[in-house]
């Protein structure tokens, strides 16, 4: 796994087109989070260290989440049309 895939929060958020706060809230240690520790992000060696994000894997997870939301909206629209 090339190291350039792992970026600190601010750089990862910029690359993904989201805010750093949104990125952090997508972690599984938040109520509605779906990004998995050690797959999508890793903590640094101490509390002040930046979280590192595996940008390609996070992008895939965002894509999958987007597909699910779009499919759900489509199903709701179809049910409403009946």
Q: Please report, for the domain that includes residue 40, its CATH number.
A: 1.10.1660.60
Range of the domain at 13: 3-81
pLDDT in tens, 42-74: 999 999 999 999 999 999 999 999 998 788 777
Copy the structure tokens of residue 76. Answer: 């709701």
> E strand or H helix at 38, and its extent?
none
- Looking at residue 2, what is its pLDDT? 52
User: Domain total for the chain?
Assistant: 1
User: What pLDDT, on a 0 to 100 scale, did the predictor assign at position 1?
Assistant: 45
Work out the mean pLDDT of the chain and round it to a whole number.
91
CA angle in degrees (0–180, nearest 5) for 8-10-11? 70
CA distances for 9 relative to 3, 23, 82, angstroms: 15, 8, 45
**Mean pLDDT (whole number) for 1-23:** 91
Residue 12 class from Cβ within 10 Å (0-12 exposed, 13-18 middle, 19+ buried)? buried
């Amino acid at each position: 796994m090339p190291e350039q895939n792992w970026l600190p929060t601010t750089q990862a958020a910029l690359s993904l087109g989201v805010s750093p706060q949104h990125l952090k809230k997508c972690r599984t240690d938040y109520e509605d989070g779906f990004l998995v520790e050690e797959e999508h992000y890793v903590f640094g060696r101490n509390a002040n260290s930046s979280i590192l994000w595996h940008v390609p894997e996070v992008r895939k997870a965002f894509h999958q989440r987007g597909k699910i939301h779009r499919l759900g909206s489509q199903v709701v629209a179809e049910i409403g049309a009946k």
